[in-house]
Amino acid sequence: MKKIIIVTGASSGMGIEFARELAKRPVDELWLVARRLDRLDRLAGELRALNSGLIIRTAATDIGGRVGGHIIGNLLAKAAENGGLFIDTLVNNAGFGTYGRFDTAGLDRQLDEIELNVTALTAITGTALPYMERGSRIINTASLAAFSAMGGFAVYAATKAFVLNFSLGLAAELEQKGIKVIALCPGSVDTEFSRVASEGVREKVAHGKPPAAVVRHCLSCLGHGKKIAIMSLKWRIKAFLPRFFGRYFTAKVTMYTEKRPSKSDIEK
């Protein structure tokens, strides 16, 4: 039976690091899914050099919305034609955020954010589950933002709250089947997330954690059966505080104390 790993959002940041770490597992194929073919090809070449026995497949495509489930479903069905197929690990890492107030940040962009962060993740998970069995693993990239409503980051925080709660509910449902599910909930990580979220206004976040360290911690937590991965003590404290102060209060505070520069604010 062919054993595979699927990583979405594999062209940058934590997606690249997940691919690097998971390429060390004893599987037959590693599938890298993202929009930017040049980056996927570069990563695939790197991984083939490190593990010549591993087949690397790339899919340069936009997986936003329900179509993401259809795309992955078609790839799985085709791959399963010549014998059985077993998904060892599914990493739902694709996603993005949008800085700025909901009423000025651009409705279409924020709806696309929901389609990728929520709809595609759900569709791909549902499509992949029939190919999973005892020992399979699902890693869903959520965020520290999942623990509170956030002013100036309203849609992103809401989408990641969905990912966190969906992951925990799914973990409970799949426990008897021996399928592990974990939600990765990082704070600031040194990736291109901020540049995308600000539409180029902010190049990087200050004091971002190395993505490789965040990924390794997540995989360690997964191996120990944890359901949520939060790497640093500071992040754990921030995740807890909304329970004490209340989510609305936290939303108000973050709107004024955690300013996120956005293109929409500059253009006002």
Quote the domain boundaries for residue 13. 2-267
Residue 156: active-site member:
yes
Say how far apart CA 143 and CA 228 lie, in whole Å. 10
| pLDDT at residue number 132 | 97
In the structure encoding, which two tokens stand for residue 55, read together? 């087949």
CB atoms under 10 Å from CB of 255, counted, come to 17
CB atoms under 10 Å from CB of 173, counted, come to 11
The catalytic residue among 131, 156, 248, 256 is 156
Number of folded domains that form the chain: 1
Say how far apart CA 36 and CA 9 lie, in whole Å. 10
| pLDDT at residue number 205 | 74
33-47, 81-95, 124-138, 244-258 — which is least confidently predicted?
A: 244-258
- pLDDT: which is higher, 261 or 92: 92
Residue 82 banded pLDDT, cuts 50, 70, 90: confident
Please, are residues 44 and 32 in contact by the beta-carbon 8 Å criterion? yes
| pLDDT at residue number 203 | 64
| pLDDT at residue number 83 | 81
pLDDT of 93-150, one tens digit each?
999 999 889 998 899 999 999 999 999 999 999 999 999 999 999 999 999 999 999 8
In the structure encoding, which two tokens stand for residue 5, read together? 């790993």
| pLDDT at residue number 263 | 60
Strand order in the sheet with 29-34: 55-60, 29-34, 2-8, 85-92, 137-141, 180-184, 228-229
Q: By C-alpha distance, which of 8, 123, 112 is closest to 66? A: 123
21-30, 35-44, 257-266 — which is least confidently predicted?
A: 257-266
Say how far apart CA 114 and CA 107 lie, in whole Å. 11
For position 43, which CATH number holds? 3.40.50.720
End-to-end CA distance of the chain: 57
SS (H, E, C) the chain: CEEEEEEECCCCHHHHHHHHHHCCCCCCEEEEEECCHHHHHHHHHHHHHHCCCCEEEEEECCCCCHHHHHHHHHHHHHHHHHCCEEEEEEEECCCCCCCCCCCCCCHHHHHHHHHHHHHHHHHHHHHHHHHCCCCCEEEEECCHHHHCCCCCCHHHHHHHHHHHHHHHHHHHHHHHHCCEEEEECCCCECCCHHHHHCCCCCCCCCCCECHHHHHHHHHHHHHCCCCEECCCHHHHHHHHHHHHHCHHHHHHHHHHHCCCCCHHHHHC
CB atoms under 10 Å from CB of 60, counted, come to 15
Sign for the CA dihedral angle at 122, 146, 158, 95 comes to negative
34-48, 62-76, 197-211 — which is least confidently predicted?
A: 197-211
Mean model confidence pLDDT for the chain: 91
| pLDDT at residue number 70 | 96
pLDDT of 157-213, one tens digit each?
999 999 999 999 999 999 999 999 999 999 999 887 777 776 666 667 767 899 999
